[in-house]
Structure 1
Amino acid sequence: MIIAAMRFVHTSDWQVGKVFRFADDDTQSVLQDQRLEVIGRIGRLARDQGASAIVVAGDIYDHEIPVDRTLRQPIERMRQFPDLCWHLIAGNHDPNVPGGIWDRLHAIGLPDNVRAHLDGGPAAMDPHGTAWVIPGGLKRRHVATDPTAEMDSAETPPGVIRVGLAHGSVRDFGGDEAQNRIAIDRARRAGLSYLALGDWHGTQCIDDRTWYSGTPEIDGFDRGGDGGGHALVVDLAGPNARPEVTSHRVGRFVWHRDTATLTGAQDITALEHRLRNIDPQEAGRVLVWLSVRGALPLEGLQTYQDMLDALGSALRLLRVDGEPTLLADADDLDLFGTGAVRTAATILSERAGQGDPAQRDIATAALRRLALMVHGQKGNTP
């Protein structure tokens, strides 16, 4: 008689090779590298938690035609954990199309501990046959049928844990509802102990037996608040037992969106304090997308620019949309001294306060640049 109990790790959406077009070359290289390094953190998590298997619910790669080095890199990371069995399926970014990624991997040859489930047939997850994986990978980027439909009739030995592994959407997550759509009650219909899903990049519990793990390394500013950056450790005491699922952080980077309205030095100080305290111990793993508005006098404008320069050096990435407008009164204009610079500043200040909006914006931007240039020259004076 099989005594069925199983602990495994559920992950998905590694998207190795992903391009981050908003980032500079150095930051992009680091972000791409961490999409590989997180595989090692997932392996160490499995070892530390006593799990014997890891299920990867699709989108190992971000593109259907990766270069050879990118193709091999995640496989080599998994090879480094020969005591763990990695179970892979194809997702919508890396579908199992003829001559595609999976044919190339087959030609190269996978390590003994890495299994690509491409034909849809159930297979033992561990040497003892305690649990069986029932795969539902994709053979095209988008399919109109439910990729998990055949799980209902999939035959496994009696008394074993049935783990579904699929890539698709159980509800509309902002895309086309008709594509790769999975029945929300598939776990019940197919008698699954657990349904491990990929596609949604944040951790999501659909029901007791159906979970999205989310991407293990957050990949966008819209992911920071929904549980991305985790892997799931799943405990099953038996085929009918309720899964115990615990989320573990494995991601390296913190992605944060913020907005600020700046009207004076106090607002600037508060903003800097807020951003520096996202991770006060290691600011270099923080990426920030900041939206700014407001109005500042000339000295406040320079204080704000100094803050941006400092934070841009401390954080992994600081992306800024918008800027405070410039409020220049007579006292502010005195900072320009006398002569031609003062005359130019006075004219720009007048034009910034009157006329059509486009001309005001141009004058304001020019005055802002002139103020920063003059301040910089003074700061460099011995």
Structure 2
Amino acid sequence: MKLTDEAAKARAMTFRFIHSSDWHLAKPFRRFEPGLAGELAAARLGIIGRLAKIARERGARHVLVAGDIFDSELIATLEIRRALAQLAEESDVTWLLLPGNHDPLRLSGVWDQVSRLGLPPNVSVLSSATPHTLAGNAVLLPSPVTSKDPGRDVTEWMDAAQTPPGAARIGLAHGSVRGFGSDDDAALRLAPDRAKRAGLAYLALGDWHGAARVSAETWYSGTPEPDQFPDNEPGFALSVTVDGAQLVAVDKVPTAEFTWLKFDRTVHSAADFGAIERDVRSAASTLGKTLLRLALGGHLSLADRAALDVWREEWSARLRRFEIDDKALTVTSGSMDFESLGLAGALLDAARHLAAVSSDPASPERDAAATALLRLAGFAAEGRREAGQ
């Protein structure tokens, strides 16, 4: 019996939770066509179910969301209802939601709408900077954002916050740590050493959209579903374990439905396209759920430049979205290019004329000629491809 009691006590001292942030529910994605925009918005709402699954797999009953749950303060009631319904579906998980700078806690804001609609029993909106008991030995110290520019460090109160002796103090905040992730004049500026000043076992942060370690006890979870072509590491949640008042482990767990890739590549022949394909396949879990932005430099022959257009069309069909920036790519043309494309007669004469004009810096028709030459080469390459040559 004594061993059983000790084991129960040990379990009570260990607390596991999921740290997430920056859901940006109801983000409109206006720069994309309506079909893709709808798919991306649906993937963001699907975050809730995916996080609940991760919580169960990791033995966690709490998900802490460090701000920007909604994309703005002007959210349609139907979108709010959908989010609340999804949270209510995952009834075995406790959701703790912190207002951020996109959805600050202020009069007539989105959280007033949430309050009027009514919260599910398993959901709490952290509306005040006061200690919040979680489970066992853990106490949450939340810092809700009440305006887009509060003009102060919203985590400062944590230093003097009173919690039971030996409790695991867990901070939850939204903002920018100096020198990390944003400008030094950012409105929501947080002290980089807040965790040490306040004696926190862990400080869960939101605002920076990539998963990142600031210090041993201070982490950004990043957005669980990417919303742009990234320079950081979006698409994760953090599984956190504390034992007593000490941090034990922080594990990154993949969460993204869509993969957003941004590549810069230099090419010198059509053979180089294969290396790009291998990189895409290596980075993407599912091609049909991948968005790729590819910046190309280097130089290609006219024939290979025509092959690039064919390759672009093929991969546009495989990927959910494919963007190519080829402004830094130069094209060379010569008689061998025309012969390899199978041009003859009037088409060969036209190609030679266009090549001459496009290579003349003094010609006012230089750009138009270059475009026409590429189109002619593209038609010829496609014709040879359809003929099986």
TM-score by length of 2: 0.89
Using the TM superposition, give the Cα deviation of residue 379 of structure 1 relative to its aligned residue in structure 2, in angstroms. 5.9
Which has the higher mean CA deviation after the structures are superposed, 112-121 or 184-193?
184-193
Correspondence for 1:24 = 33
- Structure 2: how far apart are the matches of 1:160 and 1:179? 31
CA offsets, 1:117-175, max 9 Å, x none? Answer: 1122222223x5x3221110100012210111112222233332221111011223233
User: Counterparts of 1:65-84 in structure 2 under 5 Å?
Assistant: 65-84=74-93
Using the TM superposition, give the Cα deviation of residue 9 of structure 1 relative to its aligned residue in structure 2, in angstroms. 0.8
Does residue 320 of structure 1 match 2:328?
Answer: no
Correspondence for 1:308 = 312
Which has the higher mean CA deviation after the structures are superposed, 244-253 or 152-161?
152-161
- Which of 142, 146, 150 is matched with 1:139 structurally? 146
Correspondence for 1:332 = 337
- Which of 130, 137, 161 is matched with 1:154 structurally? 161
Using the TM superposition, give the Cα deviation of residue 312 of structure 1 relative to its aligned residue in structure 2, in angstroms. 0.7
- Structure 2: how far apart are the matches of 1:328 and 1:184? 56
Correspondence for 1:15 = 24
Output the amino acid matched with 2:91: P
Correspondence for 1:371 = 377
- Partner SS state of residue 242, structure 1: strand
- Structure 2: how far apart are the matches of 1:131 and 1:160? 6
CA RMSD of aligned residues (A): 2.4
Correspondence for 1:181 = 189
Does residue 360 of structure 1 match 2:369?
Answer: no
- Which of 195, 201, 204 is matched with 1:193 structurally? 201
Correspondence for 1:51 = 60
User: Given that residues 167 and 180 in structure 1 are in contact (C-alpha distance below 8 angstroms), is that contact kept between their aligned partners in structure 2?
Assistant: yes
The 1:178/1:357 distance shift into structure 2, 3 A limit, reads farther
Gaps of 5+ in 1: none
Output the amino acid matched with 2:221: S
User: Given that residues 326 and 368 in structure 1 are in contact (C-alpha distance below 8 angstroms), is that contact kept between their aligned partners in structure 2?
Assistant: no
Correspondence for 1:230 = 236
Correspondence for 1:35 = 44
- Structure 2: how far apart are the matches of 1:74 and 1:55? 16
- Structure 2: how far apart are the matches of 1:357 and 1:234? 64
User: Given that residues 120 and 135 in structure 1 are in contact (C-alpha distance below 8 angstroms), is that contact kept between their aligned partners in structure 2?
Assistant: yes
User: Given that residues 278 and 286 in structure 1 are in contact (C-alpha distance below 8 angstroms), is that contact kept between their aligned partners in structure 2?
Assistant: no
Which has the higher mean CA deviation after the structures are superposed, 254-263 or 85-94?
254-263
User: Given that residues 178 and 184 in structure 2 are in contact (C-alpha distance below 8 angstroms), is that contact kept between their aligned partners in structure 1?
Assistant: no
Output the amino acid matched with 1:192: L
- Structure 1: how far apart are the matches of 2:303 and 2:199? 68
Using the TM superposition, give the Cα deviation of residue 47 of structure 1 relative to its aligned residue in structure 2, in angstroms. 0.8
- Structure 1: how far apart are the matches of 2:236 and 2:243? 23
The 1:273/1:5 distance shift into structure 2, 3 A limit, reads closer
The 1:178/1:374 distance shift into structure 2, 3 A limit, reads closer
Using the TM superposition, give the Cα deviation of residue 73 of structure 1 relative to its aligned residue in structure 2, in angstroms. 2.4
The 1:197/1:381 distance shift into structure 2, 3 A limit, reads closer
Gaps of 5+ in 2: 1-8
- Structure 2: how far apart are the matches of 1:302 and 1:184? 52
- Structure 1: how far apart are the matches of 2:363 and 2:72? 44
- Partner SS state of residue 253, structure 2: strand
The 1:191/1:259 distance shift into structure 2, 3 A limit, reads closer
Identity of aligned residues (%): 35
Correspondence for 2:4 = none
- Structure 2: how far apart are the matches of 1:148 and 1:34? 31
Count of residue correspondences: 375
- Structure 1: how far apart are the matches of 2:306 and 2:186? 52
- Structure 2: how far apart are the matches of 1:322 and 1:22? 20
- Structure 1: how far apart are the matches of 2:351 and 2:186? 59
- Which of 210, 214, 234 is matched with 2:218 structurally? 210
CA offsets, 1:23-70, max 9 Å, x none? Answer: 333222222111111221111111111111111000001111111122
The 1:91/1:327 distance shift into structure 2, 3 A limit, reads same
Correspondence for 1:349 = 355
TM-score by length of 1: 0.90
- Structure 2: how far apart are the matches of 1:178 and 1:300? 47
- Which of 64, 70, 74 is matched with 1:61 structurally? 70
Does residue 289 of structure 1 match 2:321?
Answer: no
- Structure 2: how far apart are the matches of 1:163 and 1:247? 18
The 1:358/1:57 distance shift into structure 2, 3 A limit, reads farther
- Structure 2: how far apart are the matches of 1:207 and 1:273? 35
Correspondence for 1:163 = 170
- Partner SS state of residue 238, structure 2: strand
- Structure 2: how far apart are the matches of 1:107 and 1:358? 64
- Structure 2: how far apart are the matches of 1:358 and 1:147? 59
Using the TM superposition, give the Cα deviation of residue 74 of structure 1 relative to its aligned residue in structure 2, in angstroms. 2.3
Moved over 4 A (4+): 374-382
- Structure 2: how far apart are the matches of 1:55 and 1:277? 32
Does residue 274 of structure 1 match 2:279?
Answer: yes
Using the TM superposition, give the Cα deviation of residue 245 of structure 1 relative to its aligned residue in structure 2, in angstroms. 1.0
The 1:257/1:121 distance shift into structure 2, 3 A limit, reads same
Output the amino acid matched with 2:149: H
Output the amino acid matched with 1:89: L
CA offsets, 1:65-117, max 9 Å, x none? Answer: 11112222222221112111111110011101210011110111000100001
